[in-house]
Amino acid sequence: MPRTKKKNGRGGQHGNVQPFSDEDASIETLSHCSSFSDVTSVADEGGEASEDTAQEDFQYKLKGFIDSTVDKSAKTRQGALDGLKTAMATRILYEFISERRMTITDSIERCLKKGKGEEQRAAASLACLLCIQLGSGIESEEVLKTLKPIFKNILADGSANIQARQAVATSLGLCTLVAEDDILDVHATMECFENLFTRAYARVDGTCPSISPQTSQLYTNALLSWALLLTICTASQLKDILRKYLPKLPRLLESEDVNMRIAAGETIALLFELARDMDTDFEFDDWDELCDKLNALATDCNKHRAKTDKRKQRSVFRDVLKAVEEGDFQSETIRFGTERMTIDSWVRKRTYDAFREFVGSGMNYHLQANEFIRDVFELGPPILVDSATMKAMKISRFERHLHNSAAFKARTKARSKFRDKRVDVGEF
């Protein structure tokens, strides 16, 4: 990280349609196509339908969704796009999708051009999931080559639906990370994002431009996609970006939108990390002023801000401040199947968050089975674990409930001891 692209990368394991377990998939994720889980459960429980039959039935449903993306009814098209999104987020479908890549791409293109807000939003997200399934290579490059001009037109069109623009701002970033082969084209896409988020800069006098919440979300999405593409920039590009943007990005910390402030803080931490990777003696001219700003946000007590926003902000900016002052990162361990992965840098965090935004609760499954995503996070080839071993490793829901209940009671008892005013202070 930053990683080297592989031209022959693939998005899955030879097209085997593998069921996504109920442990990992939330009901909400599968709500748009509940029949998926029905097929899966029958196969898992050893019912009448064999695994092959379940797979054929599942593929039949997918073909129906693909056909329905060109239906006259906008509601039907929307449902078809959502069905395909759920399938791609929760299963590995490389062979099936590869054979129908051009058809799916044409459908996405049509929905982006002729659809309205929600339909365009779903189509943009589906484009991203399509690239994630195909992996980094010629196939995903062709998808991006077709869709990128449309994405950029929507992004730059101030009269376009704001929800569509928000979705495109996020999808174009990840599609570029996965599929763009030319670093100069990456830089050109970053300039599209820069044209948006720089409009949110606070003025020299400290006042902020008047921006609607919807537009602020668009600018925030653009900033996060820009930050994602920083992770694959060359050293010379990074040097130019640091010189041009690091002095100005702190202006976004003045935003009234908590999500923009947080995105700006995390992007600044990411830039400092990348700068120090190139030069351990990296220095920033306005370092003291920046640290004062970050410290103020990490201890923010403004009464006019919502309590939940302040809690979220303070937590993030404590980590951002440590990153800027000490080059520190609060690592996190992600467990999936029999494996675990450590998020130990701002680069890895931004990349993980970007993928998770699209695959949702299917992230753990993709970490286990998607060859491309495993390559991005340097996890090696997928580890095959038979179902008997997995069942032996899983703790039953009842046992987990008992364990959680016992832990909760112990925690409550310990806390109440300190909260009880009758406890003698001398005991402590």
What is the three-state SS of 332-400?
A: EEEEECCEEEEECCHHHHHHHHHHHHHHHHHHHHHHHHCHHHHHHCCCCCCCCCCHHHHHHHCCCHHHH
Contact assessment for residue 359 and residue 129, using Cβ atoms and an 8 Å cutoff: yes
Distance (Å, whole) CA 123 – CA 105? 10
Share above pLDDT 90 across residues of the chain, in percent, rounded to a whole number: 67
Confidence bin at 3 (pLDDT 50/70/90): very low
Give residue 53's pLDDT.
Answer: 85
- Give the span between the Cα atoms of 141 and 136, in whole angstroms: 8
Q: Once rounded to an integer, what is the mean pLDDT over residues 355-377?
A: 95
Total count of residues recorded for the chain: 428
Lowest-confidence pick of 185-194, 271-280, 401-410: 401-410
**Inter-CA distances, 389 with 1, 122, 202, 326, 341, Å:** 32, 37, 56, 43, 21
Position 293 scores a pLDDT of 93
Q: Which two tokens stand for residue 57?
A: 């039935």
pLDDT tens digits, 198-257: 999 988 887 889 999 999 999 999 999 999 999 999 999 999 999 999 999 999 999 999
pLDDT at 133: 96
Least confident interval from 22-31, 85-94, 199-208: 22-31
Q: What band does 26 get if pLDDT is binned at 50, 70 and 90? A: very low
Q: What is the pLDDT of residue 403?
A: 63
At 374, list the tokens: 């495993």
Q: At residue 332, what are phi and psi to the nearest 5 degrees?
A: -140, 140
Options 1.10.1060.10, 1.25.10.10, 3.90.1150.10, 3.30.300.30; which CATH number does 58-178 get? Answer: 1.25.10.10
**Separation of alpha carbons 151 and 153, rounded Å:** 6
How does residue 288 score in pLDDT terms, banded at 50, 70 and 90? very high
CB burial of residue 146 (10 Å; 0-12, 13-18, 19+): middle
pLDDT at 312: 84
Q: Which of 78-87, 113-122, 262-271, 412-421 has the lowest mean pLDDT?
A: 412-421
Residues 242 and 254: their CA atoms lie apart, in Å, by 20
**Residue 223 to residue 264: CA distance in whole angstroms:** 8
Asked if residue 19 has pLDDT above 90, the reply is: no
**386 has a pLDDT exceeding 70:** no
Residues 144, 179 contacting (CB under 8 angstroms): yes
* pLDDT number for residue 36: 41
What pLDDT, on a 0 to 100 scale, did the predictor assign at position 22?
36
pLDDT at 373: 96
Q: What is the mean pLDDT of residues 305-315?
A: 79
Mean pLDDT along residues 307-311:
76
Q: What does pLDDT average to over the chain?
A: 83
User: 285-316 as b/e, with b when 16 or more CB fall inside 10 Å?
Assistant: eeeeebeebbeebbebeeeeeeeebbeebeeb
Lowest mean pLDDT among 71-80, 176-185, 403-412: 403-412
Partners of residue 339 on adjacent β-strands: 336
Cα 287 from chain centroid (whole Å): 30
Is the confidence at residue 352, as pLDDT, over 60?
Answer: yes
| Other CB atoms within 10 A of residue 279 CB | 11
Residue 90: the pLDDT is 93
Confidence of residue 54 (pLDDT cuts 50, 70, 90): confident
pTM: 0.80
If one compares 51 and 231, the residue with the highest pLDDT of the two is: 231
State the pLDDT at residue 24: 38
| Band of pLDDT at residue 166, cut at 50, 70 and 90 | very high
